[in-house]
Structure 1
Amino acid sequence: MLKDPSSKYRAFEPIEMVAREWPSKKIVKPPIWLSTDLRDGNQALFEPMNGEKKYRYFKELLKIGFKEIELGFPAASELDFNFVRRLIDENLIPDDVTPMVMTQAREDLISKSVESLLGSKKAIIHIYNAIAPAWREIVFGLSVSEVMQLIEHHVGFLEKITRKHPETEWILQYSPETFCMAELEVSLQACHTAMRAWNADLSRKIIINLPTTVENATPNVFADQIEWMHKNLDSRNSIILSVHPHNDRGTGVAAAELAQMAGADRVEGCLFGNGERSGNVDIVTLALNLYTQGIHPGLDFSNINAIAMVAEECTKLPIHPRHPYVGDLVFTAFSGSHQDAIKKGFATQIGKDFWNVPYLPIDPADLGRTYDGVIRVNSQSGKGGISYILENNYGIVMPRRMQIEFSSIVQAIADSSEAEMSAESIWELFSKTYLDRQNCSGKGLRYVHHSLLESNGRQAIELDVLNVDGQAVKLRGVGSGPIDAAVNAIGLDIQVLGYEERSVGCGADAQALAIIEAQSNAALGSKFGAGRHVNIVTASLIALFNAIERLN
């Protein structure tokens, strides 16, 4: 049983404000976005990303449309330093994208951070120091005046050394770390000290970044703090007011939205809410919340499944199936009443521009999702546990998105027959849908045989196939592996989104089962294909051809 917390924990109260304005405000445009996935998000991983994964993630952030990206902590990590230098030396940062690096207020770290960015057209140096009482008194043993001296000295040092490199447009971002737990007068004094040391003015703006370093109050309290700073900061036109919400109380998104209403111009966060403890604010959710209100967020999430796959593969963190907008089940209805309402909504939506479908706050097609899995069967609907039957009767374990896709196919058959589907009929439908596609329509190429070769350290493949007329054709391709080489050999504009392999059966009868998820770049949505064979490469190629046949 929980103890009485009233004598142990401090409740943070709203600020005494004469005329609080943010409750009547409305968000009418997107903020300036900064992705901190490669710094704050990366430092919170069990296994931080290596250089290649960071570069893959960086390219994805560029595709999404981020114009400000925090690259890392180069003064504290040689990997981060080399990564930043690679991007600059190899001219991999577009001219309209500004890189940012973070450093503590220490001369050697500041110098190393500046060194990492030399040669960049434009760059943000992010300096921070903790200012709240618990940190001043417990961690550092500093008075308020000593904290201000520290800020003045180190920001002044940064200003001095960046003046020596006028080829780069230098921008200071100052963060009074632990802002949400500090006295507002101390926060204001810290920010003004940084502004004076930087000589901030209209031609030399400064980013003042106010973090909920550890979220400790309701979002309205943070909004009060932001509005107070917004109204009391000197030379407000020379400041880009930024927020960096964390999610310790689970209200990071609300805090960021209310902060914008209170005067914030800019938001820092991570895709899907990665970050220390409970994470940074989820930029995907924030951006798509705007989208559902008719405001384009300035970021492109039109192929959200592909973005999620990059994030999951680079961070090794799974995205929850109920995660807003991107989770595999967020556009799926199991309840009969929900299914009925959605069906009726789809029926009345035809020919209309304004989206108005019950239980679906956003059109899945806008995110590159299809409607295939919106209404599906589960054990509660009386149609049987499809995944359970296939796994227990046939040893088939489907990936989550494949479960959603196949359940909608079963639903359609069950509805038309108005009868319970047996395990045998479900297996027959699975085989016809995923395993035997090459034999049922004749619309595409049919796999016959393959040979693997080496080509300058890469994988080459020779494919013997039958075309739509039944004629034998030989294809050749090179790639990073057999599947990639086969895709290149076939020459279609598709991308493989996912690959899984299983063992089906045991002993002498064991076979490899390969499952591939593929997407045509010319159409929305993806399709699965499966292949079985004693050889895993052969099973994989059969799965690829079956997936391609389903995309045609």
Structure 2
Amino acid sequence: MIWNRQQPSPMPWHRYKDVYERVEVPLQQRHWPDARLAESPLWVPVDLRDGNQALAEPMDPARKRRFFELLVSMGYKEIEVGYPSASQTDYDFVRLIAESGIAPDDVTIVVFTPARRDLIERTVASIDGIAGDVVIHMYTATAPVWRDTVLGKDRDELRELILAGGRDVLELAGDRPNVRFEFSPEVFNLTEPDYVLEICDAMTALWQACPARPVILNLPATVEVATPNVYADQIEYMHRNLARRDSVILSVHPHNDRGTGVACAELAVLAGAQRVEGCVFGNGERTGNVDIATLALNLYAQGVDPKIDFSDIDEIARTVAHCTRMPIHDRHPYAGALVHTAFSGTHQDAIKKGFAEHRARATAEGRSEREIDWRVPYLPIDPADIGRTYEAVIRVNSQSGKGGIAYLLSTEYGLDLPRWQQQDFARHVQARTDASGAEMTAAELFELFTATYGLTVP
């Protein structure tokens, strides 16, 4: 039997090389597959810098402030606020933080700079007067294509450029007790592992990393090019081989070019990452930065405290959409308008039975429905935990069955239909929705029910 009848496509797939031909992936005895996600990493939203620079219309000062205040209210404790040497708007926003006190004392401010002295000087000037903790985040692309095509430098020349930038950062800000340092070898995931390890070790030595003043080494998948397990191998290699490991905060910054940014981040944490940079709902260049809202709620759904408050996800989504001028997709994990909605009959029947079991179990245990374990089919988390009601969980169209119809009539109108009537009425609903092609609301179902069975509504 020939069960796979796919044929070669006409696309020029031969023009591309797989990741193993582009960069050495260090071979090692992996430990990350046996690890478990048991604790949240430090989440660092970069919406105000990386996300903002990807917008067709960058945020104005009012939107940046509103977004910053949202992040603070949600509980983020380290926030990248801008690229002060790149635009006056970003510089002014950092100055607003310095002069207005809108940043709480326990929130660390991160500012972003290339490894160029004049731009480092501008960056350091922007943070004057910030009383709380500050991270100066310096970056340089290190992968071969970027070295050859963009920077025109060989390995030794680029290493010296990076160290020169590091020396400038140390000279200009090293004596400030509230300032720590971060280095990103941009396009880490396409850089030779021995070279990136050499540079990172040189930077922690230069910046005198110690447990009291750790250095952040941020390892970006600037362009996602491989399956998530490859990124995990690369992160574990660094985690196991870095010098001064107890004085390093190992950070990751995945992008979503292949659609697996969330998986890359999760496996990277299994592999030793302690800090994750990304955007709330995944805005960013091209297909976006990793979505740190999805990451956090994935942990929540596994019984791990995300350390971030998503108890009013609709307000969070409205604010992010307003600030970015970009809508949240209806199917976006956790935040989308339809993610807790079932139209199909089999799903509706399972959810209806799940809710009934949940209520019965709460009653039997003498506890609130919000206290007992959640195990309703097709709903990974209780919608109420993120501020949603149950009204939109079941909606009726031509794909729906008797269970969903009965659920809506019961919850909205107190009608508990016998099984024969559920089956009979479902046929009438099917005929109506097949003819119209439209969804039926609970009110329309009730109207059809009363008309079908000759009932008079008091």
**Scaled by the length of structure 2, what TM-score is found?**
0.84
**Matches for 1:71-470 after TM superposition, within 5 Å:** 71-120=81-130, 121-164=132-175, 166=176, 168-350=177-359, 351=362, 353-381=372-400, 382=430, 383-384=432-433, 408-410=441-443, 413=446, 417=450, 419=452
| Contact 1:376–1:411 (8 Å) recurs in 2 | no
Distance in 1 (CA, whole Å) between partners of 2:235 and 2:26 is 13
Corresponding residue number in structure 1 for 2:16 = 8
One-letter amino acid matched to 1:76: A
One-letter amino acid matched to 2:327: P
Range moving further from structure 2, 133-142 or 16-25 = 16-25
Distance 1:354 1:386, change over 3 A: farther
One-letter amino acid matched to 1:409: A
Deviation at 1:7, TM superposition (A): 5.1
Distance in 1 (CA, whole Å) between partners of 2:435 and 2:242 is 60
* Per-residue Cα deviation, 1:227-257 (whole angstroms, up to 9, x for no partner): 0000000010000000000000000000000
- Secondary structure of the residue that 1:340 maps to in structure 2? helix
| Contact 1:35–1:269 (8 Å) recurs in 2 | yes
| Contact 1:75–1:112 (8 Å) recurs in 2 | yes
Q: Would you identify which runs of 4 or more consecutive aligned residues in structure 1 move more than 6 Å?
A: 385-389
Distance in 1 (CA, whole Å) between partners of 2:43 and 2:240 is 22
Q: Which has the higher contact order (CA 8 A, sep 6+)?
A: 2
| Contact 1:243–1:268 (8 Å) recurs in 2 | yes
Deviation at 1:53, TM superposition (A): 0.5
Distance in 2 (CA, whole Å) between partners of 1:301 and 1:237 is 32
Distance in 2 (CA, whole Å) between partners of 1:101 and 1:270 is 16
Distance in 2 (CA, whole Å) between partners of 1:116 and 1:385 is 63
- Secondary structure of the residue that 1:264 maps to in structure 2? coil
* Per-residue Cα deviation, 1:155-189 (whole angstroms, up to 9, x for no partner): 1111111135x3x5111010000100010011101
Deviation at 1:46, TM superposition (A): 1.0
Distance in 2 (CA, whole Å) between partners of 1:218 and 1:52 is 39
Distance in 2 (CA, whole Å) between partners of 1:262 and 1:412 is 52
* Per-residue Cα deviation, 1:495-541 (whole angstroms, up to 9, x for no partner): xxxxxxxxxxxxxxxxxxxxxxxxxxxxxxxxxxxxxxxxxxxxxxx
Distance in 1 (CA, whole Å) between partners of 2:137 and 2:55 is 21
| Contact 1:372–1:408 (8 Å) recurs in 2 | no
Deviation at 1:8, TM superposition (A): 3.1
Distance 1:159 1:418, change over 3 A: farther
Deviation at 1:138, TM superposition (A): 1.2
| Contact 2:36–2:270 (8 Å) recurs in 1 | yes
Corresponding residue number in structure 1 for 2:405 = none
* CA RMSD between the two structures: 2.2
Distance in 1 (CA, whole Å) between partners of 2:89 and 2:260 is 33
Deviation at 1:282, TM superposition (A): 0.4
**Matches for 1:41-56 after TM superposition, within 5 Å:** 41-56=51-66
Give the gaps of 5 or more residues in structure 2: 1-8, 363-368, 401-429
Distance 1:44 1:323, change over 3 A: same
Corresponding residue number in structure 2 for 1:474 = none
Distance in 2 (CA, whole Å) between partners of 1:152 and 1:138 is 21
Distance in 2 (CA, whole Å) between partners of 1:130 and 1:223 is 20
Distance in 1 (CA, whole Å) between partners of 2:11 and 2:160 is 42
Distance 1:155 1:349, change over 3 A: same
Deviation at 1:149, TM superposition (A): 0.6
One-letter amino acid matched to 2:128: L
- Secondary structure of the residue that 1:34 maps to in structure 2? strand
- Secondary structure of the residue that 1:273 maps to in structure 2? coil
- Secondary structure of the residue that 1:311 maps to in structure 2? helix
Distance in 1 (CA, whole Å) between partners of 2:445 and 2:199 is 63
Distance in 2 (CA, whole Å) between partners of 1:89 and 1:337 is 58
Corresponding residue number in structure 2 for 1:508 = none
Deviation at 1:418, TM superposition (A): 7.9
- Secondary structure of the residue that 2:281 maps to in structure 1? helix
Distance in 2 (CA, whole Å) between partners of 1:387 and 1:116 is 61
Deviation at 1:280, TM superposition (A): 0.3
Distance in 2 (CA, whole Å) between partners of 1:54 and 1:196 is 36
Distance in 2 (CA, whole Å) between partners of 1:20 and 1:386 is 58
| Contact 1:42–1:49 (8 Å) recurs in 2 | yes
Distance 1:84 1:22, change over 3 A: same
Corresponding residue number in structure 2 for 1:462 = none
Distance in 1 (CA, whole Å) between partners of 2:276 and 2:330 is 25
One-letter amino acid matched to 2:374: W
1:39 maps to which of 49, 69, 75: 49
Deviation at 1:387, TM superposition (A): 10
| Contact 1:12–1:221 (8 Å) recurs in 2 | no
**Scaled by the length of structure 1, what TM-score is found?**
0.70
Deviation at 1:26, TM superposition (A): 0.3
- Secondary structure of the residue that 1:126 maps to in structure 2? strand
Deviation at 1:17, TM superposition (A): 2.9
| Contact 2:397–2:437 (8 Å) recurs in 1 | no
